[in-house]
Amino acid sequence: MDDWQKVINFHGHACCILAIGYRAAKLALSLLEEASEKGEQPVALVETVDCSTDAVQVLTGCTFGGRRLKVKETGKYAFSLGYPSTDGAVRVVLRPGVLSRLGEPFLKLMEKVANGEAGVEEKEQFYNHQAGLMQYILNAPSEELFNVQKVKLSPMPAGFMFQFTCCDNCREEFLSARAQRINGKVLCPVCSGMV
């Protein structure tokens, strides 16, 4: 099974957004020249969480559960990969116009499909149109799709501390490291308004 099929199997369907993450991760991996001298595993930073993130997880092995995948929600199709202890990280950013090359009507249709608001005919129309865009993203030269920058990634947060606290408001137990003290109460991130 090739890498693209592995990504599709993990995600559940093929689409143009999945193809962006696939190509970005492939490019970042090919550019990552420097290996960690400390035997570190690479870490990835994604700047939007959607279908593209699944491709990054499958190809790089960086996952949320493994604590090697971070999110900095900027709304950009930007993906960084590297080792925190080196200067060898790369940031791969989708060039303007790649995703919108089929025009505003296509983007509106994609939005309806993604939000579960499209009817059967609209879904069929979307998948017919997006097939060509997906093939373009999968096959175009990398430099036509992405800009690349060298970056330095910040270290991953310290390991887990399994100490628990009970929220004074909702009474649910949570990791103590996430506790907020407000007006003399110990609150979880939800009750404190942090998330």
pLDDT digits (tens, 9 = 90+) for 135-181: 999 999 999 999 999 988 776 655 667 788 899 999 998 888 888 89
The mean pLDDT values, 10 residues at a time, for the chain of 195 residues are 94 95 95 67 92 96 90 94 82 95 92 92 92 96 96 69 87 87 91 85
Instruction: Work out the burial of residue 85: count CB atoms within 10 Å of its CB; fewer than 13 is exposed, 13-18 middle, 19 or more buried.
Output: middle
What pLDDT shows up at residue 35? Answer: 59
CB 86 within 8 A of CB 41: no
What pLDDT shows up at residue 137? Answer: 97
Domains in the chain with CATH codes: 3-151 (3.30.1330.130), 160-195 (3.30.60)
pTM score: 0.82
